[in-house]
């Protein structure tokens, strides 16, 4: 019998959701009858809590403290409200809440604003399901003290999440330490109270006006108004069953771009994600329908957003790729957009958006996570800009002093830091469309831009190995093995240095990351995923030509796979 039956019964008594109540009631009944499978399920649900960290909350929908549900969200909202009241200087804190099209996103959002309002905060709910970047924008636009976005981004269909932003000095960025621990402590105090039904609620929250969305559309369209080369551009767009299209379509109209051919089966929000096994443009097969649509419409370009539209994927025609279309890597897109931003910053000769801690204006800078391509540093140096390498996550990238552009190889791009301090797949799409259209007006393609980049800055090539596990303890075991017995070589190339970021290398906050440098200048980075049960290996090389870089990358991948087999 489960050791957590009492916890399950206590949870059931406060659960306002009929679906999870029925789910939990059935499990309790089976466990009481001696069903070992039900007991194990209860143990998994109640032996721990979904941890609240710098990524907020994210997990599988279901009953229990180790799942995403209305009880957990109520505890999180009440704890976050207590944190905001504690840090306020006497005024009434304002918090704005948004939600996407995933299962229960709207329910979690309304629970949150009712609890925020009941706690005495000024709570504002966005007018309907909208992309994450609109919420990030709204925090700054409305001068809010905080924001909450209910989304699990590109996670599997049964997941949902709770992403937290702070206004004021944090400028609408996602939370970082120590705020995460402070919020988590408040949430735990609420959970220890044991009954969310006693939490005060109020329907006295506000509904954000449509003007907030209109302001986001105007600011995003201004990122790259359509040049003359945009006329007649044939391109395909997919929302990946997410919430992007309504906002994207308005931005396109205002910016002057031709309407795309839509992947109709994926254009409307649908939390079941029926046409993809995994709603992430990076996953194999996720863009197959987009490629099929592109071939049928003789398109020049494919653009995809993930379900909450904070990521951007791009594909171009490629006769050497099976099916004739190739999805660009996140690094390729990031380097193109970084090149665009660097040219603009170098020619503008105006202060960047960021401000140095001393109060002086920070020099314009490019920033990317440490697992992203080192090519961005080469771009920054070429144009005399500052460069910052950060820990993974836009909570860190967005805080780079003087940032004019930032990116992460996992299809995340910050192109408009003056208005959105987070990755934004819509403004990035507009910027990329602008580059494609300008090239088109010169008789060139995105592929030509990639070749020009290589000719200018060198041939940077990247790859990634992603290992999904059922038991996350396996990841900890691999990291421990690598630290206990560090490799002397990767394949046939000797290791020159290993940086263990748990020790706070190069000014980075401590993180579970190993950065392995090879004698030939190649780099291998190993880290656990922050949002999924995965171990990730990032491979980066530089060559004098695309062919030489490709060969060096193949050798590095083979060596990394051998290393992985040795430590698993």
- How far is residue 304's CA from residue 43's CA, in Å, rounded to a whole number? 39
Could you report how far apart the first and last alpha carbons of the chain are, in Å? 33
d(CA 81, CA 84): 5
DSSP character string of 462-510: EEEEEEE-SSTHHHHHHHHHHHHS--SEETTEEEEEEEEGGG-GGGPPP
CA distance 329 to 281: 11
Q: Are 145 and 96 in contact (CB under 8 A)?
A: no
| SS3 sequence of 177-192 | CCHHHHHHHHHHHHHH
Query: Rounded distance, CA 184 to CA 166, Å?
Result: 15
DSSP string, 3-51: TTHHHHHHHHHH---HHHHHHHHHHHHHHHTT-HHHHHHHHHHHSS-PP
Cβ neighbors of 29 (< 8 A, separation 6 or more) are none
Q: Write the CB contacts of 322 (distance below 8 Å, at least 6 apart in sequence).
A: none
Active-site positions read 153
How far is it, in rounded angstroms, from Cα 283 to Cα 153?
A: 14
Tokens of 70: 């209305």
Half-sphere exposure of 405 (CA within 13 A, CB side): 25
Two tokens, residue 331: 């690094």
């Amino acid at each position: 019998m489960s050791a957590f039956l009492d916890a399950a019964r206590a949870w059931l008594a406060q659960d306002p959701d009929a679906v999870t109540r029925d789910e939990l009631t059935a499990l309790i009944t089976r466990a009481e009858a001696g069903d070992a499978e039900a007991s194990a399920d209860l143990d998994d649900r109640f032996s721990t809590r979904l941890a609240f960290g710098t990524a907020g909350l994210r997990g599988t929908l279901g009953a229990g403290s180790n799942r995403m549900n209305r009880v957990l969200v109520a505890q999180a909202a009440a704890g976050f409200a207590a944190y905001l009241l504690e840090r306020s200087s006497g005024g009434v804190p304002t918090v704005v809440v948004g939600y996407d099209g995933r299962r229960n996103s709207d329910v979690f959002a309304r629970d949150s604003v009712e609890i925020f309002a009941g706690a005495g905060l000024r709570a504002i709910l966005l007018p309907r399901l909208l992309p994450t970047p609109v919420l990030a924008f709204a925090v700054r636009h409305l001068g809010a003290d905080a924001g909450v976005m209910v989304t699990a981004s590109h996670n599997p269909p049964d997941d949902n999440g709770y992403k937290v932003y702070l206004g004021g000095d944090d400028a609408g960025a996602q939370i970082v330490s120590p705020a995460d621990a402070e919020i988590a402590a408040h949430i735990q105090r609420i959970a220890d109270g044991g009954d969310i039904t006693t939490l005060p609620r109020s329907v006295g929250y506000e509904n954000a006006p449509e003007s907030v969305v209109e302001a986001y559309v105007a600011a995003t369209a201004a990122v790259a108004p359509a040049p003359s080369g945009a006329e007649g551009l044939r391109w395909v767009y997919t929302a990946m069953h997410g919430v992007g299209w309504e906002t994207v379509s308005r931005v396109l109209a205002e910016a002057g771009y031709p309407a795309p051919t839509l992947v109709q089966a994926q254009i409307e929000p649908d939390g079941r994600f029926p046409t993809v096994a995994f709603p992430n443009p990076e996953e194999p097969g996720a863009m197959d329908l987009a490629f099929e649509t592109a071939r049928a419409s003789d398109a020049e370009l494919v653009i995809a957003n993930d379900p909450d539209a904070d990521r951007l994927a791009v594909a171009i025609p490629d006769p050497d790729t099976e099916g004739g279309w190739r999805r660009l890597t996140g690094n390729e897109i990031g380097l193109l957009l970084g090149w665009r931003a660097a040219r603009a910053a170098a020619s503008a000769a105006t202060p960047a958006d960021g401000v140095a801690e001393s109060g002086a204006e920070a020099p314009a800078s490019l920033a990317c996570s440490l697992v992203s391509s080192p090519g961005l540093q080469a771009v920054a140096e070429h144009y005399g800009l500052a460069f910052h390498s950060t820990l993974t996550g836009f909570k860190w990238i967005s805080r780079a002093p003087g940032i004019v552009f930032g990116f992460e190889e996992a299809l995340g791009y910050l192109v408009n830091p003056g208005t959105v301090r987070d990755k934004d797949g819509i403004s990035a799409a507009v910027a990329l469309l602008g580059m494609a259209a300008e090239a088109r007006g010169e008789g060139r393609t995105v592929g030509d831009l990639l070749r020009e980049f290589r000719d200018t800055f060198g041939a940077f090539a990247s790859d990634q190995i992603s290992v999904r596990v059922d038991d996350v303890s396996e990841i900890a075991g691999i990291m421990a093995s690598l630290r206990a017995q560090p490799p002397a070589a990767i394949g046939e190339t000797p290791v020159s240095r290993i940086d263990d970021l748990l020790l706070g290398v190069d000014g980075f906050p401590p993180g579970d990351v190993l950065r392995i440098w090879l004698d030939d200048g190649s780099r291998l980075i190993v880290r656990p995923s922050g949002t999924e049960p995965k171990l990730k290996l990032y491979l980066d090389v530089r060559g004098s030509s695309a062919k030489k870089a490709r060969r060096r990358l193949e050798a590095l991948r083979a060596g990394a796979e051998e290393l992985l087999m040795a430590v698993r």
